[in-house]
Amino acid sequence: MSAPNIDAIVSLAKRRGFVFPSSEIYGGLGSAWDYGPLGVEISNNIKKSWWRRMVYERDDMEGLDSSIILNRLVWKYSGHEETFSDPLVDCRNCKVRLRYDKLEPIEEERWENDGGKPPTQKVRFKCPNCGSTDLTEPRPFNLMFRTTIGAVSDADDPSALAYLRPETAQGIFINYLLVQQAMRRKLPFGIAQIGKSFRNEVTPGNFIFRTREFEQMEMEYFVRPGADEAAHDEWINWCFDWYTSLGVNPNNMRLYEQPKEELAHYAKRTVDIHYRFFPEREDEERQWDELMGIANRTDFDLKAHSKNPVGEEGKRLNPDSTEDLSYFDETTKERFYPYVIEPAAGVNRSVLAVMMDAYSERTNDKGEKRVILKLHPELAPIKVAVLPLAKNKPEIVEMAKGIKRKLQPAMRAVYDDTGGIGKLYARQDEIGTPFCVTVDHQSLEDEAVTVRDRDTWEQERIKVAELKEYLRKRLGSSC
């Protein structure tokens, strides 16, 4: 089972401290959300897992953390100043602003051309807010957030203009040569980066799915031209496998081949991994949306930031760059611009997907419905909760607190005595804690505790001396 809709996660998230609406005491800020005490743990665990698998467990990878605000010329030559826009339409009736490419077509009008030419089709759209079809023509809206650098008197001073990065990728391209030389890398190799990106989205929404500030996990993999297609396929599989290794049901994911007309101007091929974010929608096709994308960006970016390439009239295409980012292959004695494969994932969308996928409900003996978040142990915010059966018995409380302290260096453990044992179990199930350890009267005599499994509700008696090792084994080595 998985969540019936995003709303099930929204209410759980607020109630249990995963995600809060940002600035709520001032009426909120549309599309901004804050990770609470448990949400920050899931988000960190996702990033840790990605970094470990991407950087530490491979031999062809380096990490990087570049600046959010870069020289404006980076965005000029990357093409973002000119092309990083969404098509925007206004509804003339209710004045709402909409993304043209996300509108649902409502009808197709066909009419015959006089000259016996094939019939032409006209697709019409209606405003999802008021139903009016009186929409303006689409026009591009640049998504980059603008800011000014330094103490300027004029907010529009072009010499002070800068942008908050809309993707982390460009920070990698402009550091490519420095990383390659400093780390003595030969092709193929990759550079991975995790960090915040900002897009002034026209229509943010669907909880943390589309926000104006979000975190990305991106990697640029540099290969010889000609080796790009095979590398692209490998990375598509790698990404799909990474999500399934974190417990995401493959039936809730699919690969989506972007058609030519959807491709970014620099891309030769892009395959997205879709997740079933909207299972409640009747039309199966509309249940899916993008979790991450894996693009073949060709040599576009390294060429664009290089000083050497010249245009048709023999003029340098980039007169501002001071470096050439081509690669010299010592064995073949060839010089070329590497091709780049880019797996780009969103942290927010990954958090949402793993939470939706882990969501399940179960009815207990008393007929009460319980939510159980069956998170992969690696992602669970808390790995083990130590609970005293009787909180008015100081010896039991002391023993439970002592066990928590001993477990903590090895795994995220909490102590909780704020309710009866049934309630405490239910609360831990709801936040995805894989194991609860209960200390009871018997424990004082036999130095053993009860370990309860979140998913099966089965209980096992374990000696305190063996507890850490037992939990480590059951949680797996990645926790």
What is the contact surface with ligand ATP in residues (CB under 6 A)? 167, 199, 201, 210-211, 214, 216, 290-293, 344-346, 348-349
CB of 422 to ligand ATP, least distance (A): 38
Nearer residue to ligand ATP within complex by CB, 39 or 346: 346
Nearer residue to ligand ATP within complex by CB, 168 or 450: 168
Nearer residue to ligand ATP within complex by CB, 22 or 308: 22
Residues 6 or more apart whose Cβ sits within 8 Å of residue 151: none
CB of 134 to ligand ATP, least distance (A): 26
CB of 252 to ligand ATP, least distance (A): 15
CB of 41 to ligand ATP, least distance (A): 19
CB of 291 to ligand ATP, least distance (A): 6
CB of 349 to ligand ATP, least distance (A): 4
Residues 6 or more apart whose Cβ sits within 8 Å of residue 441: 389, 390, 393, 396
Nearer residue to ligand ATP within complex by CB, 210 or 404: 210
Give every strand in the sheet of 435-439, ordered side by side.
413-415, 384-388, 435-439, 448-453, 459-463
Nearer residue to ligand ATP within complex by CB, 216 or 321: 216
CB of 466 to ligand ATP, least distance (A): 42
Nearer residue to ligand ATP within complex by CB, 242 or 425: 242
- Closest residue to ligand ATP, Cβ-based? 346
Nearer residue to ligand ATP within complex by CB, 77 or 214: 214
Nearer residue to ligand ATP within complex by CB, 90 or 290: 290
CB of 262 to ligand ATP, least distance (A): 9
